[in-house]
Amino acid sequence: MNYKQKLPKINHLLLDVDGVLTDGTVFFDHEGRAQRRLFTKDSFAIQFAIRQGLRIGIITGGSGAGLLEPFRELGIQDIYTRSSDKLDAFKDYLAVHDCMPDSIAYMGDDLPDYAVMERVGLSCCPSDAATYIRERVDYVSAFPGGGGAVRDILEQWLRVNNLFEHPDKWTW
């Protein structure tokens, strides 16, 4: 089954942060706090998809106070940080939301994401993901992490569910 046949069954999207929502670069401010740059087109698509009924969560190995706030502002409620074993966070997400793995899409970019990716209904990655990941997922975006990969998969989900062609709803 190709990825477009799997998309209509998806009700949840779980995302990694570094390398998916960001380009993987971490900057440190003068006080040593980690800073990440988000792509506004990804951010808009996240907010829009949430309003259209998609549940979006984050599973990341990263941590820090500055990590959570931008995602909460986008409407993401389920944020798992310091997830050295992402499978544990995934199992918790399944239990909390009482959902089946085949209703979940996961976008990751590197080896720590793979255990979750092989269990979900739709696995996807940015164009610049690790080779091992690109060779094994259902869908490889034409866009890099932090540069439209998230927007890409969200826009496809919106289109397949007939939720994209409503310009009157395209607001922040």
Residues in the chain, overall count: 172
CATH number at residue 77: 3.40.50.1000
**Residue closest to 125 by CA, chosen among 3, 34, 36:** 3
> Number of folded domains in the chain?
1
- Is 158 contained in some domain? yes
Is the overall model pTM greater than 0.85, yes or no? yes
Structural domain of residue 148, as residue ranges? 9-163
Asked if residue 56 lies in contact with residue 13, where contact means CB atoms within 8 angstroms, the answer is yes
Using one digit for the tens of pLDDT, what is the confidence trace for 17-61?
999 999 988 778 888 777 778 889 999 999 999 999 999 999 998
